[in-house]
Amino acid sequence: MKDGGGQSIIRFEEVSKAFGPKVVLRGMSLEVKRGETLAIMGPSGIGKSVTLRHAVGLVQPDSGRVIVDDHDLSTISREDLRELRKRMGYLFQEGALINWLSVGENVALPLRENTDLADEVIREKVEEKLALVQLRGTYDLMPPELSGGMRKRVGLARALVTDPEIVFYDEPNTGLDPEISMSINHLIRDLAERLQITSIVVTHLVSCILVVADRVVLVDQGRVFAEGTPDEFIRSQDERVVRFLAKPYD
């Protein structure tokens, strides 16, 4: 695992966000180092996924700033944001596959939307990423033919097909049995180390952070109130951390 001592690539500076009367983020400050895997933990409904959406520029803060690779997402031009997003991959909770497209066509979508690559080059890149997530030979299968774990891997192949520098994982273990869930955890760790990407993983599972994370932050009431390595986290005597870990999430 990395030591997390690199340069910051994502920074939240006192970010606040409300949706109507519901305040989700309350002065959130957070830093992600280039090349590290950061896990964001916390109870359901406290803004973990909203934090990810801020980092990709889908949501704007009511106050504070989100800085990604020295770009202020509040003031970035639409064209620069589009170019920045090409350097990002996103794994959605349920995989978010389109059922009437084949596995290969689903994975190819980011390349067809963002590049002018020839069909044969796209096919080659898609096959490469399917092999990377251990799904060689599945190009022509349809999503309804896949297990939950396979769907998650297809979603991961799609997140990786543009060779991103940053990958966001939104609850990558959702809906998976423990054995498949652990295989996804090891795949995330293996890809982070092999491809040297920066990863942010939103999860509520201790079993996930113990495998994937270089550093963990615990979020509640709209802000970070604890952070450290996975080992420091599970050994913490902070009452809020102990209380969170005592809940039957895992």
Tens of pLDDT along the chain (250 residues)? 554 456 889 999 999 999 999 989 999 999 999 999 999 998 777 788 899 999 999 999 999 999 999 999 999 999 999 899 989 998 887 667 889 999 999 999 999 988 888 999 999 999 999 998 889 999 999 999 998 888 888 998 999 999 899 999 988 888 778 888 898 899 889 889 888 899 999 988 888 999 999 999 998 888 898 899 999 988 988 888 888 888 755 4
Contacts of 151 (CB under 8 A, 6+ apart): 94, 95, 97, 143
CB of 4 closer than 8 Å to CB of 232:
no
Q: Record the tokens describing residue 4, joined without a space.
A: 């997390």
Q: Which fold has domain 1-87+164-250?
A: Rossmann fold (3.40.50)
pLDDT of 250 reads: 46
Specify the pLDDT at position 71.
Answer: 94
The confidence score (pLDDT) of residue 187 equals 86
Give the C-alpha separation, 55 to 53, whole Å. Answer: 5
Cα of first residue to Cα of last residue in the chain, in angstroms, is 23
- Main-chain phi, psi angles of 45, to 5 degrees: 75, 20
Cα–Cα distance, 123 to 69 (Å, whole number): 30
Q: Cβ of 167: how many Cβ atoms within 10 Å?
A: 22
Query: How far apart are the C-alpha atoms of 209 and 114, rounded to whole Å?
Result: 32
Q: Could you tell me the residue ranges of all domains in the chain? A: 1-87+164-250, 96-163
pTM of the model: 0.88
Across the beta sheet with 71-72, the strand order is 22-33, 8-19, 63-68, 71-72
The helix (run of H) or strand (run of E) holding residue 202 is: strand 198-202
Give the per-residue pLDDT at 49: 85
